[in-house]
Amino acid sequence: MRIRLYNRMDLDDVLKLYYDTVHSVCAQDYSLEELDAMAPEKPNIYHWETSLEKNHTIVAVNDEDEIIGFGNIGQTGFLDRLYVDKDYLHQGVASALVKHLENYAKVNGNNIIDTISTISSEDFFKKLGYKTLSEDISELRGERIVGYAMEKKL
């Protein structure tokens, strides 16, 4: 596995990975309606392009150069996305992505990383030293989505 910067040609693969990951990994913690609200079959391409390009976005690729994970972080130290292909879970991909994103944040003057974790990933973030601050309930496409506001001091 190697980590590299996201480029615009990665968009379709990133969107597919996001949809597949949310609908498989998070299925134990959310209803089908909530999963569809979080990861609709037809995403807003403009929103994704803008967000992925504006933030520091990285992808993890396997030996065949297929994207197996991605994540991004904003200038303020908000870790916005972290998703790994279901077939590559528990193989260090997410931890490597987070380490890279945290290093990027630290170099850019952020001593605290914030994120909103899904129910499915809260334990993962705790293992990396993140603390749960509060439950976070947001409304997305008419569905209430429960997550957790978390932070880590670097």
The reported pTM is 0.95
Place of tokens 């615009």: 8
Residue by residue, DSSP assigns 12-31 as HHHHHHHHHHHHHHTTTTS-
Q: How confident is the model at residue 35 (pLDDT cuts 50, 70, 90)?
A: very high
* pLDDT tens by residue, 68-109: 999 999 999 999 999 999 999 999 999 999 999 999 999 999
CA distances from 44 to 38, 51, 76, 118, 152 (A): 12, 11, 24, 21, 30
Structural domains in the chain, CATH included, are 2-153 (3.40.630.30)
* pLDDT tens by residue, 42-66: 999 999 999 999 999 999 999 999 9
Tell how far CA 30 is from the center of its chain: 17
Query: For residue 19, what pLDDT is reported?
Result: 98
Place of tokens 């994207």: 67
Q: Give 142's strand partners.
A: none
Q: How confident is the model at residue 38 (pLDDT cuts 50, 70, 90)?
A: very high
Q: How far apart are CA 31 and CA 53, in angstroms?
A: 30
* pLDDT tens by residue, 114-128: 999 999 999 999 999
